[in-house]
Amino acid sequence: MIESTPVISSVRDWLATLPPLRYGPLQLSSRYMLSPLAGYTNLPFRRVVRSLGGVGLATTDLVNARGLLQGGPRTLQLIDTCPEDRPFAVQIFGNEPSVMRDAAQLLQARGVDSIDINMGCPVNRITKVGAGASLMCQVDSTIELVRTVVESVSIPVTVKMRLGWDSQHLTAPGFAREFEQVGVAAIAIHGRTREQGFSGVVDRVGIRRVVEAVNRIPVVGNGDIRTVADGVRMFAETGCQAISMGRGALANPWIFQQLVEWETTGHPTTSGSFDDRLGLLRKQFRFVVEQRGEERAISSYRKMLHWYLKAMLVPAPLRNKAQAAANEAEFEMVVDEIAEHGPARGSRTGLLPDLYIPVPSGPNERW
Ligand SMILES: Cc1cc2nc3c(=O)[nH]c(=O)nc-3n(C[C@H](O)[C@H](O)[C@H](O)COP(=O)(O)O)c2cc1C
């Protein structure tokens, strides 16, 4: 139990009194995590974010536990890693204990540092098969499933969940308490219900109830953290020991390093300029080519490219041209053109405005 909510001005002092963050035996270098974002938190993006510093742990997109056992190439690509991508967790989803156990053992054998169980995904495709957030509707079988996974491996197992299915069923604190008992190493909690999807604002009081429900294990507060100030507020109002960023990292991949700077010196540096982001855009594309080959790189980079170009204030005609590039040569040419043009307003080395990443409409149907 935490004693009291640390007031904002003393959050840094309070964090300084905490021991380094651990997931069981795994000591993390910071308390700032990359939250899984299906379609984005692939190896190329994780490499880019890590190259900027400050990431304590990065988690893959959600991976179908059964698909993992079948070993299809697309599923295996989701768990691709490399030496600089450490420590990393693979997030699995499913609802059959034996399948989840076998998947966890396979991941341990492949050298994964930690396993995260998805109990938050609101998408119908996942919940209708009894996985993701729908696990929060079944108490006994869900606790058994989590226990089975924890007992099947020696690496830390964490759970990522929402506050509950809907506002009438805020089951997260009860689950957190039980999960701690069965040996879960940490809980990540997105402060919304499944019913909310991504609407409304994050309920930090709800997250605080989860923090208060556990005795020893860290709780990772998640949701709507886009700036250092948002992160400070999450610590201050919930008492959580760690925070994770998804959309905030997409909008500003420097956020992890900024949080570390704030925690250690009180003075975070600014996020990158047009030129800095252009460097990242090129770097991530090279990583995508490395992983997927030239032919598939262009199509698989489009989603990410959209956010880079938005953040860099690239005018619409050039953004459209970049999206229409059919091969690597065309892509490089249009990126050179973008570099030449600079941002639509402001300077190429100055501060860019904050980018807000909305979530798609109908969030429970599609991300
Ligand atoms: C496009 C998208 C994909 C997501 N994919 C996953 C996922 O695979 N697993 C998961 O646990 N959460 C997933 N989430 C939820 C995020 O991890 C996070 O909990 C949520 O976006 C709130 O945090 P944020 O405001 O920092 O983005 C996804 C969210 C978005 C917007």
pLDDT band at 7 (very low <50, low <70, confident <90, very high): low
- Between the CA of 239 and the centroid of ligand 1 the distance, in Å, is 22
Length of the chain in terms of residues written: 367
* 58-75 tens-digit pLDDT: 999 999 999 999 999 999
* 162-176 tens-digit pLDDT: 999 999 999 999 999
**Of ligand 1's atoms, which has the minimum distance to the CA of residue 367?**
1
Q: Is the pLDDT of residue 314 over 60?
A: yes
Alpha-carbon distance of 200 to 191, in angstroms, equals: 10
Alpha-carbon distance of 283 to 247, in angstroms, equals: 20
Judge if the beta carbon of residue 89 lies within 6 A of ligand 1: no
**Of ligand 1's atoms, which has the minimum distance to the CA of residue 160?**
11
Residue 304 near residue 284, CB atoms below 8 Å? yes
Question: Roughly how many angstroms between the first and final C-alpha of the chain, as a whole number?
Answer: 35
pLDDT at 3: 43
Average pLDDT over residues 135-147: 97
- Reading phi first (left if > 0) and then psi (alpha if -120 to 50, else beta), residue 243 is in beta
Q: What is the percent of the chain where pLDDT is above 70?
A: 95
* Residue 82 known to be catalytic: no
pLDDT at 354: 87
* 351-360 tens-digit pLDDT: 898 888 876 5
pLDDT at 198: 87
- Between the CA of 97 and the centroid of ligand 1 the distance, in Å, is 24
Q: Is the pLDDT of residue 362 over 80?
A: no
Residue 132 near residue 117, CB atoms below 8 Å? no
Q: Is the pLDDT of residue 225 over 70?
A: yes
**Of ligand 1's atoms, which has the minimum distance to the CA of residue 35?**
17
pLDDT at 360: 56
For the four alpha carbons of 331, 336, 337 and 339, in that order, the dihedral sign comes to positive
Q: Provide the 3-class DSSP secondary structure of residue 12.
A: helix
> Residue 87: is the preceding peptide bond cis (ω within 30°)?
yes
Residue 197 near residue 122, CB atoms below 8 Å? yes
pLDDT at 9: 59
pLDDT at 2: 40
* 254-305 tens-digit pLDDT: 999 999 999 999 999 999 999 999 999 999 999 999 999 988 999 999 999 9
Q: What is the DSSP string of 276-293?
A: HHHHHHHHHHHHHHHHHH
- Between the CA of 118 and the centroid of ligand 1 the distance, in Å, is 11
Q: Is the pLDDT of residue 193 over 70?
A: yes
Judge if the beta carbon of residue 35 lies within 6 A of ligand 1: yes
Identity (one letter) of the amino acid at 230? D
pLDDT band at 8 (very low <50, low <70, confident <90, very high): low
Average pLDDT over residues 90-103: 98
Q: Give this prediction's pTM.
A: 0.95
Average pLDDT over residues 129-134: 93
Q: What is the DSSP string of 124-169?
A: HHHHTTT-GGGGGG-HHHHHHHHHHHHHH-SS-EEEEEES-SSTT-
Mean pLDDT over each residue of the chain, to the nearest integer: 94
Judge if the beta carbon of residue 171 lies within 6 A of ligand 1: no
Judge if the beta carbon of residue 91 lies within 6 A of ligand 1: yes
pLDDT at 260: 98
